[in-house]
Amino acid sequence: MCFTRKNCVISIFFWTLLQYVQGQDNWTGYWQPQLALNYKVTGNYAQNASLAKRTYIYRESASAFEIRQLDFVHFSKLKLRDNQSLGLGLQYRFRENFERDKENELRITQQYNITHKARILRIGHRFRTEQRITTLSTIHRLRYRLAVDLPLQGVELDIGESYLVISTEALLSVGKAMGPEYDQRITAQLGWLLSKKTKFQLGAEYRAENYNAETENVAFLITNLVLSL
């Protein structure tokens, strides 16, 4: 992994983002490491399994280091064309084990994804519908994400080189006995192609949650190891 001026600029961006969120009222900070495994079943069908842990690093105006939840996710993706796919995901969130007043959650996700290339840029549009199911309620969510990724050395990504992924996502949550909630997420990740089958990503994410009522500011430090079979 080589350190370049671009990498330095991106690191400064991450730090600036976290400092901005810390300066806001009503904010929470998390560290979220994730391990993901990609498996290609056939030429047009692939599966993904991942395990993520979310840990508080800042809450209620004080530093903290407490596990909030564990997420187990399985996703299936069917390629329609070279740049289009349909997906179906199942997720189970363990939260009762760490916060007794919270519930575990089953989540079902339906997805349509389309990408296209513009020189060295790859631009992706992702549309999702979700059902977040607990014993007390079911929340329905509509999501749209715009993402751009590009290699930071040359035109194509080679082993040992880095890449940048930037995305923004809008979410609408609705359910019985609750008003609509709007969220906005902005994410930037710096990744390295360690081998043909291994990627590592480091990034930061800012979420403005329920911004149509009382905005909750949330910041994430993200680390992600992706393995492919």
Arithmetic mean of pLDDT, 81-87: 95
For residue 120, being part of any structural domain is answered with yes
Is residue 66's pLDDT more than 90?
Answer: yes
**pLDDT for residue 26:** 77
Which among 219, 205, 214, 145 is positioned nearest to 181, based on CA atoms? 214
For residue 201, being part of any structural domain is answered with yes
**Residue 67, domain extent:** 5-187+197-228
- Cβ-proximal residues to 89 (8 Å cutoff; 6+ apart), any chain: 73, 74, 75, 76, 107, 108, 109, 110, 111
Q: Which tens digits make up the pLDDT trace of 46-59? A: 999 999 999 999 88
**pLDDT for residue 3:** 45
For residue 192, being part of any structural domain is answered with no
For residue 81, being part of any structural domain is answered with yes
Total of domains in the chain: 1
Is residue 25's pLDDT more than 80?
Answer: no
Q: Which tens digits make up the pLDDT trace of 110-130? A: 999 999 998 899 999 999 999
Question: CA-CA distance, 159 to 194, in Å (whole number)?
Answer: 6
CA distances for 18 relative to 11, 56, 62, 101, 157, angstroms: 11, 14, 15, 29, 28
Is residue 17's pLDDT more than 80?
Answer: no
What's the CATH number where 47 sits? 2.40.160
Is residue 101's pLDDT more than 50?
Answer: yes
Is residue 177's pLDDT more than 90?
Answer: no
What predicted TM-score, i.e. pTM, was given to this entire model? 0.90
For residue 154, being part of any structural domain is answered with yes
For residue 77, being part of any structural domain is answered with yes
Q: What is the mean pLDDT of the chain?
A: 91
